[in-house]
Structure 1
């Protein structure tokens, strides 16, 4: 857990607001035990993490708490992590779409995978961090 929290801290305050840390801790203690949460390590250090969970509707998978060490952005780790989570979602029976919520800072990254915005909420996460709800239809 400490490695994932260090990643969170490296991405605060641009990508995450400090107020979100408690929710991430709760996720790691609870949700990560119920659904897959992938961790990328390099030389014994956690450098990326992210999960996915089947939603209650039974046809959607949500990407959850994906992040890469701030010093390693742009090195392909986020792409690798996202591709792995999309592949896992596609392999889950009955799943027709992948959803996520992200910020204005990373929505373009997810758009490259085909995610489309459904709703944008200014300051939806915290002042200066807009919430972008996005969806990738699986066909």
Structure 2
């Protein structure tokens, strides 16, 4: 049986993550976004994870805490296209949301995604706030979505 392991991204993972990106282009990502992804991986100090199956990177994605201090954004989530539908996207999203929920100051999570994955994120409770036709490129609409986080229970006085 295959086992999945998540861990923080390392610079040695770049080529594997680019293979994931390429496997999802042009349906899920516009080719013009590849250089943005490369720059993100090279410069970001925000948390980014990979999921390995039997030693092979099969998914990656991260999150960023926004400057308002109460919002997190899911960033660059993707699964090897030939492995879609096997629960890897759910595992990746669960890892990221658990890390976000561990930061008590955060009150909401936002994501911008496409029409191809918006229903996937809706299953986690994300609600659509805006749709921009061709927002990522021809035929790839941008869906802005928001997930309110339940505030921690207040201690009784």
TM normalised by structure 2 equals: 0.86
Alignment of 1:118-137 (within 5 A): 118-137=129-148
Alignment of 1:23-34 (within 5 A): 23-31=36-44, 34=45
Match of 1:6 among 19, 22, 30: 19
Structure 2: unaligned runs, 5 residues or longer: 1-13, 151-157
Q: Where has structure 1 moved over 2 Å in runs of 4 or more?
A: none
Look up the match of 1:113: 124
Q: Secondary structure of 1:4's partner?
A: helix
Instruction: Note the C-alpha offset of 1:73.
Output: 0.2
Look up the match of 1:99: 110
Residues 1:44 and 2:39 aligned together: no
Instruction: Note the C-alpha offset of 1:39.
Output: 0.3
Q: Secondary structure of 2:82's partner?
A: helix
Match of 1:16 among 1, 12, 29: 29
Structure 1: unaligned runs, 5 residues or longer: none
Look up the match of 2:9: none
The root-mean-square deviation of aligned C-alpha atoms, in Å, is: 0.6
Look up the match of 2:5: none
Distance 1:96 1:70 in 2: 32
Task: After superposition, give the CA deviation of every residue in 1:77-132 in whole Å (9 maximum; x if it has no partner).
Answer: 00000011111111113100000000000000000000000110000000100000
Q: Secondary structure of 2:130's partner?
A: strand
Instruction: Note the C-alpha offset of 1:36.
Output: 1.1
